Amino acid sequence: MNHFSKRLTTELTVSFIIIAALIGGIFFFKGNIDTYAKDTILARSNLIHISNGILESSLLKSQYNKIAGYQNLLDTIVPSYYDLINLNKDLQSLAAAQNLSYSFSFAGENPKTQNGFGSVNFNLSVSSTDLNALLSFLNSLEHFKYLNTINGVTFQSGNDGSITMAVRGEVFYH
């Protein structure tokens, strides 16, 4: 063989090996590229999901920070169960401010629920000869420092000119 044929055979063989390697690489990497593309799409989807979770978490945190200041206010108007031990004295001082005779009794309890408040039912009776004093007491009871509900009010006049107001209500606790 002459030098030209040898060189041509060598170059053709090298070219054939290079082309075969490229074709083999294309077939080999084509399957991997599809897998990598699917993995990339899945990773991007997970990243978007995580980013949305972080955004929602930061929004919740900012909303919590906005209402955290109201926790003390809530604790003030909705007392703990044990703070209600002074309820009788607190209501008696309201009655004394209007110069009313006063009687009080607890009338049961509605236990605290898992996601809500409990309440203590009460009955009280105040008496006076002055209807405006009774109405003023009722108004102060509606604006009492603790969250409460007035469930019923009845008036009864006595033979001596006095008026007795009976109130059924409940005070909520946390």
Structural domain boundaries in the chain? 1-68, 78-173
Of the pLDDT bands very low, low, confident and very high (cuts 50, 70, 90), residue 124 is: very high
Measured over the CA atoms of residue 41, residue 42, residue 47 and residue 53, the dihedral's sign is positive
Tell me the pLDDT tens digit for each residue of 24-73. Answer: 888 777 777 778 888 889 989 988 999 888 889 888 888 877 777 776 77
Q: What class is the 78-173 domain?
A: alpha beta
Cβ atoms of 138 and 159 within 8 Å: the answer is: no
Residue 79 has pLDDT above 90, yes or no: no
Q: Do the bridges between strand 148-157 and strand 118-128 make them parallel or antiparallel, or are there none, so unpaired?
A: unpaired
